[in-house]
Structure 1
Amino acid sequence: MRLTIVVGMTAGGVGMHVRSLVQRLGGLGIEVGVAGPPETEERFDFTGAGARFAPVRIGSAPNPPADLAAVRSLRRAFRGTDVVHAHGFRAAALSGLALGRRRTGRVPLLATWHNAVIATGPKRVLIAGLERLAARRADVTLGVSSDLVARARELGAPDVRLAPVAAPRVQPAKRDADAVRAELGAGDRPLLLAVNRLAEQKGLDVLLAAAARWAGRTPSPLVVVAGDGPLEAELAAAVARDDLPVRLLGRRSDIPDLLGAADVYVLTSVWEGRPLVIQEAMQVGLPVVTTAAGGVPELVGDGATIVPVGDVAAVADAVSALLDDPSARAELGERGRKQAGTWPDEDDNARLVADLCRDLAGR
């Protein structure tokens, strides 16, 4: 069986998930190709994981001329394929345009929705049209969180299912925690970690505002943020202007080392589906403070401290309470580790996709 996976521009969890599928589906009897931007292939090396690759420019925002060109490229990429699996509603919408309406004999379309739309105004209206197209053209839609499942149903998707995306199993840290803390300049100060794309969805303005409150503690925690993105210059200017105890580390390849050195993981996002780094933090028993963003509450259960989205005081107070009580930190970390043991793993994800592909191809 031949499967073509379609993916757009991504720098994080979606690309990691697709690479995980590519690595595993071959062993389940499925020949995999990936169609997407060359930049995404360069970052995640799908060919190195065993897939054939077709370059298709799928941008992160609507662009009618570029989208029309992408549809033409997808039609070429879909020749000879038995099933298409699109990741993200834009990839699903463009794949749906390339394949045409659902009908007998059409190549089946499986779509996984990873993110909600948080745009407003005219842009929101335009994107809602793409969401509706993605929902109605897919034969089966998978949502990584319950709110995405509900949204796809609302827009007319004929068959929608919850399909949690698993994080990779965290590799052991390669460096001693004290050495990592020394490199970061933390010393004996509490070390707070966030791993994020530096984008509006991540609510990093809330994290910086909370850091301003923590600056009054003795000793004041050091907040380190790993990741890059469009807000990098703006955030760096805010850190310098307000003299905040925050370091922007840029992209890092040593996340296990950072997790092993930190005292608390902090997520302040406006929306998340099933964030991989929270899963990684909880796997290793690092206590987590997170906003109640999207699918996060159903992911973490009682294994993390959950605060309202956008509430600076709640974030600051929750972290301070953990820093003041080492036993509470240890207890929360252990609850997180137990919760992590209940999640599906990457093999479960691959088996689900393989079973769905066989079912769709046989219809």
Structure 2
Amino acid sequence: MKIVLVTTTFAIGGAEKQVRDLAAMFFEKGHEVLIISLKGPTQQIVPEGVKLIELFGQKSVVGLVGVVWRLSKILKNWGPDVVHGHMVVANIISRIAAIRLRNVVVVSSAHSVNEGGSDIRLLAYRLTDRFSDMTTNASQHAVDSYLKMKASKRGKICVANNGIDFDRYRFSAEVRAHVRSEFGLNAETPLCLAVGRLVEAKDYPNLIDAFARVVKILPLAKLIIVGSGPLSDSLQQKVEDIGLSSSIQLIGMRTDIPELMSAADLFVLSSAWEGAPLVILEALASQLPITATDCGGVADNLNGFGRLIPVADSVALATGIVEELSLKRVRNDPVLIEARRNALDRFSLEAIARRWISLYKALYLRKIGVELQ
């Protein structure tokens, strides 16, 4: 098959990472793959064998019209079997750009219950829904939210889980010692790790407030927050204002997440809202204990493992962190081994890629009038 993956950006983020990994897997399985990024910056590594086209769209009416026109021209010349949009802007634009294409499957994937959609974007989503063969979201909670918002209709939206390469996320005692040494930590220092863009959805102020309570009980505990984003300066200022600079480090964007997960004792997710965060799967694959807020598809991903905390409750989050750290779990704990095995069965990248190809083929046959029994 010839598959075009259209993404709003190709920066560092869970949705962009999923596009990258799916593109690599599709190519490995013998499909021709093109990634089209509507605007910058590009921060992902383009998989071998996969072509990337960047349109560098501008945020204006003229800019959007130009992007639609250029995308339409690229699609016509490339002749895809599937046009698969990722994230709200890419979904709307790819639907419009593919209108004139015959017998081309158009899929629109959202990755959260809230992708920053304004009322105007939601209206555009509704109006262009007719041009999409299927809309997906990353969890049942997110699908239900989209139905409630009338962003799509029953029968035209389904759950499509994200997947990860589990081979990249394996605990290593040697790596653990090396990374902890890099941060000046000894073997006994309780280390918490949070990973995600520094944006409102991740609710890092809640995590910082919670950790202020944690260090009153566990004074040696440390927290590393990985990520970049518009709230970077304000979060750093908050850490300094409450006197936690020696306990909390914001280390910016990193590419060594598997290594950092080996070094940590606990993964913490403090989000106010989510779709089905890949980083939870990465922690499960790393056999890393997890304390996370109960939002979006987090509970679905954990599937009974880990510790769930109410959203926006710093006291409960602090209690969950302290209780989990106090267990002093080792990485060969049978519970952590089983958590990894359970996640692998459901979310391996290869299995997810196979499901996508099956969906593409089923939608194509339906499009040309072949009914499946």
Change (3 A) 1:181 1:53: closer
Change (3 A) 1:341 1:21: closer
User: Could you tell me how far 1:332 is from its partner in structure 2?
Assistant: 5.3
Give distance in 2, aligned partners of 1:273 and 1:281: 16
Q: Quote the residue 1:15 is aligned against.
A: 16
Q: Please say if residues 90 and 134 of structure 1, whose CA atoms lie closer than 8 Å, have aligned partners that are also in contact.
A: no
Q: Quote the residue 1:43 is aligned against.
A: 43
CA deviations over 1:233-260 (Å, ceiling 9, x no partner): 1111111121112001111122122111
Q: Please say if residues 5 and 33 of structure 1, whose CA atoms lie closer than 8 Å, have aligned partners that are also in contact.
A: yes
Matches within 5 A, 1:338-357: 338-357=341-360
Q: Please say if residues 135 and 152 of structure 1, whose CA atoms lie closer than 8 Å, have aligned partners that are also in contact.
A: no
Backbone CA RMSD of aligned residues: 2.5
Give distance in 2, aligned partners of 1:309 and 1:328: 27
Matches within 5 A, 1:1-363: 1-9=1-9, 10-37=11-38, 39=40, 42-46=42-46, 48-57=47-56, 63-79=60-76, 80-100=79-99, 105=102, 107-117=104-114, 124-133=118-127, 135-153=129-147, 154-157=150-153, 158-169=155-166, 170-172=168-170, 173=172, 175-187=174-186, 188-244=188-244, 245-326=247-328, 330=333, 333-362=336-365, 363=368
User: Could you tell me how far 1:37 is from its partner in structure 2?
Assistant: 4.0
Q: Where does the alignment leave 5 or more consecutive residues of structure 1 unmatched?
A: none
Q: Please say if residues 23 and 33 of structure 2, whose CA atoms lie closer than 8 Å, have aligned partners that are also in contact.
A: yes
Letter in 2 for 1:281: A
User: Could you tell me how far 1:29 is from its partner in structure 2?
Assistant: 4.1
Give distance in 1, aligned partners of 2:8 and 2:285: 28
Q: Please say if residues 58 and 91 of structure 1, whose CA atoms lie closer than 8 Å, have aligned partners that are also in contact.
A: no
Change (3 A) 1:313 1:348: same
Comparing 82-91 and 262-271, the one that deviates more: 82-91
Letter in 1 for 2:135: T
Change (3 A) 1:324 1:134: farther
Change (3 A) 1:29 1:186: closer
Q: Please say if residues 90 and 130 of structure 1, whose CA atoms lie closer than 8 Å, have aligned partners that are also in contact.
A: no
Letter in 1 for 2:120: L
CA deviations over 1:159-211 (Å, ceiling 9, x no partner): 22211111221344495323322322333321111111111111101110011
CA deviations over 1:33-60 (Å, ceiling 9, x no partner): 11114645x42233x422223222357x
Q: Please say if residues 116 and 271 of structure 1, whose CA atoms lie closer than 8 Å, have aligned partners that are also in contact.
A: yes
3-state SS, counterpart of residue 281 of structure 1: helix
Comparing 181-190 and 91-100, the one that deviates more: 181-190
Give distance in 2, aligned partners of 1:145 and 1:227: 23
CA deviations over 1:246-298 (Å, ceiling 9, x no partner): 00111112212211111111000111222112111111211100001101111
User: Could you tell me how far 1:360 is from its partner in structure 2?
Assistant: 3.2
Q: Please say if residues 5 and 86 of structure 1, whose CA atoms lie closer than 8 Å, have aligned partners that are also in contact.
A: yes
CA deviations over 1:84-104 (Å, ceiling 9, x no partner): 111112211111122239xx9
Letter in 1 for 2:69: R
Give distance in 2, aligned partners of 1:224 and 1:230: 18
